[in-house]
Amino acid sequence: MRRTHYCGELRRGHAGARVTLCGWVHRRRDHGGLIFIDLRDREGLIQVVFNPAVDTQTHALAHDLRSEYVIEVSGTVAARPEGTVNPNLPTGEVEVAASALTVLSEAETPPFEVEGEAEVGEALRLKYRYLDLRRPSLQRILRLRHVAAQSIRGFLNARGFIEVETPMLTKSTPEGARDYLVPSRVNPGVFYALPQSPQLFKQILMVAGIDRYYQIARCFRDEDLRADRQPEFTQIDLEMSFVDREDIWSLMEEMLVAVFREASGITVATPCPRMSYAEAMARFGTDKPDTRFGMELADVGPLVRGAGFKVFAQALEQGGEVKGICAPGMAGASRKELDDLTEFAKGFGAKGLAWMKVAAEGIDTPITKFFKPEEASAIVHAMGGKSGDLLLFVADKSPIVAETLGRLRLHLAGKLRLIPEVRYDFLWVTDFPLLEYDEAEKRYTAMHHPFTAAMDEDIPLLESSPLKVRAKAYDIVLNGTEIGGGSIRIHRQDLQERMFERLGIGPEEAKAKFGFLLEALQYGAPPHGGIALGFDRLVAILVGVESIRDVIAFPKTQKAVCPLTDAPSPVTRDQLKELHIKMDL
């Protein structure tokens, strides 16, 4: 090793030591006869001084140093002279008096400064990701990601889990997205799918008697990249045999406690609260409620049923709902603000937004005439409205009411700064519906995936009232973000076939797509269940960044492009020919 120390590790105690350092020139300053550089490596910065009195030749060489040159420097560590100590730098009490310098690599002027955290466009950052990753903030993230992964591995290893790799070139595992396909050269006309998750393999590992499996697994989903998704992402994927839901929940809670503590020093309170899907939808309008603040949805249907306001009455007659939220202190909202909120609501399909302002002198609302004073006060009371608050109502079909008010709740909480920042509210959302009805395709689809078991007592409803069947499925939500989900699986072949049938997957199709699973279930499958946590999202939360792109070393853009390598890119005619593919563009 050329290097004796990392730049960032030198302290006062090293004074007098001869050291050799290797790293990048972070910054250079000429001060009269002296040349100072900050030398940077993975561990931090150190000031190096080139003094002609120490070595003229070395000093002369240092004149040519530029930012991002890679150098090797030897010299002696010295305490910095009185008054030049830099308290902002861990190495700020010392400097290295250089007596030898080798330039190992010159560098072009970087397209953006590595030094500091100047705002740089993401396209440029991703194209020159190696420069971007030199920044201390991103170095810290990659290291923390590594610590989190090690912490998870350590935790699961200690509990008897076995890490097993499952194939990348495989058959479609439906998780609700489009597959990435890979053509087979040796088998003309057929394709592999990249796994959307290791779901089927992990279940088959349970049939194989592995008992406890995990994998920090790469998954691929070809979706139009909404907000913060990546075409490939990482899951902490696990599966256990002979367990029920509580076993998985408590194990995951312990794991989260460990990883939050080890990676970020954050204390997670356990057990995490549980809430059924139905309750989450009713109280928060979403299946991933942010429980760090209140402003819950109030059902005012029973209170407005008899009143003369047509919009409310009609929604109720048509089987819909009338619900509202109370925005604290917003009674002063201007016409424009109310119009903006109405537009916001319309964006989620609501026809409009009704409002009431609660004031000391009474209730101010354009719909006053439809309510008797005692009816209006009953509504205010039911919603916990106080003088100075603004009540907002949506009357519509239940899903629209939920979505609109759920979004409005988050929007207003942000605006009103109701969300405490440094808080970690975990929540298990349980008892999801097993099925959803897809209006466009006129068929039922699995809400989680087709391998999720129904609650035992609901199985008889599978044919008669499919939407009433609850699943043994659960999500773990943190501060309003779903960070993982899983379920107890179907482990009986007859039930799995029945589920496929319910999903409109006939026996032929089931055999073609999932024959191997159905067959495996015939050879002694243990009851089993598991979960997968989104590792990228988890790390983003642990380091406190918004985007998962910041915690992935080489992420893709919103258009699923890698600006560094330019993937995806054209291939030659010969390559296509070998793959038996003709283009149709």
By C-beta, is 131 or 525 nearer to ligand ASP? Answer: 525
Q: Which is nearer to ligand ASP, 248 or 469 (CB)?
A: 248
Minimum CB separation of residue 284 from ligand ASP in Å reads 21
Residue with tokens 């029920």: 244
Least separation in angstroms between residue 295's CB and ligand ASP is 29
For residue 451, the one-letter residue type is F
Q: Measuring CA to CA, which residue among 282, 293, 289 is closest to residue 482?
A: 289
CB 454 within 8 A of CB 471: yes
565-574 b/e with 16+ CB inside 10 Å = b?
Answer: eeeeeeeeee
**By C-beta, is 248 or 367 nearer to ligand ASP?**
248
Closer CB to ligand ASP, 61 or 532, in the complex = 532
The shares of helix, strand and coil residues in the chain, as percent rounded to the nearest 5, are 35, 25, 40
Minimum separation from the CB atom of position 533 to ligand ASP (A): 9
| The pair of three-digit structure tokens given for residue 493, joined into one six-digit string | 């072949």
Helix axes 245-264, 535-543, angle to 10 degrees: 40
Q: Least distance (Å) from ligand ASP to the CB of residue 413?
A: 28
Residue 207 CB, shortest distance to ligand ASP, in Å, is 16
Closest distance of CB 487 from ligand ASP, Å: 5
Strand partners, 444: 437
CB closer to ligand ASP, 285 vs 485: 485
| Residue 482 CB, nearest approach to ligand ASP (Å) | 10
Cβ proximity to ligand ASP, 370 vs 432, nearer residue: 432
Phi, psi (rounded to 5 degrees) for 97: -85, 110
Work out how close the CB of 509 gets to ligand ASP at its nearest, in angstroms, rounded to a whole number: 21
For the chain, the straight-line distance linking the first and the last C-alpha, in angstroms and rounded, comes to: 54
CB 504, min distance to ligand ASP, A: 21
Q: What stretches of 287-429 show up as alpha helix (H) in DSSP?
A: 301-304, 310-317, 335-346, 373-382, 398-415
The smaller minimum CB distance to ligand ASP, of residues 102 and 170, is found at 170
Kindly tell me which of 141 and 531 has the beta carbon lying closer to ligand ASP.
531
Alpha carbon distances (Å) from 499 to 93, 415, 456, 514 = 68, 44, 14, 12
Question: At closest approach, how far in Å is the CB of 321 from ligand ASP?
Answer: 30
Which residues are CB-contacts of 265 (< 8 A; sequence separation ≥ 6)? none
- Note whether 94 and 12 are within 8 A (CB): yes
Do 47 and 57 form a contact (C-beta atoms < 8 A)? Answer: no
Output 390 or 427, the one with its CB closest to ligand ASP.
427
Instruction: Identify whether the C-beta of residue 488 lies closer than 8 Å to the C-beta of residue 521.
Output: no
Residue length, the chain?
585
Closest CA to 291 of 382, 410, 408: 410
Which CB sits closer to ligand ASP, 293 or 451? Answer: 451
State the Cα torsion 405-411-413-419 to the nearest 10°.
120
3-state SS class at 525: coil
Q: What is the largest CA-CA distance in the chain?
A: 95
- Tokens 């000031």 sit on residue: 47
Nearer to ligand ASP, 61 or 217 (CB): 217
Point out which residues bind ligand ASP (CB under 6 A): 175, 197, 199, 485-487, 530-532
Q: How far is the CB of 156 from ligand ASP (least distance, A)?
A: 14
Burial label for 325, CB within 10 Å (0-12, 13-18, 19+), is buried
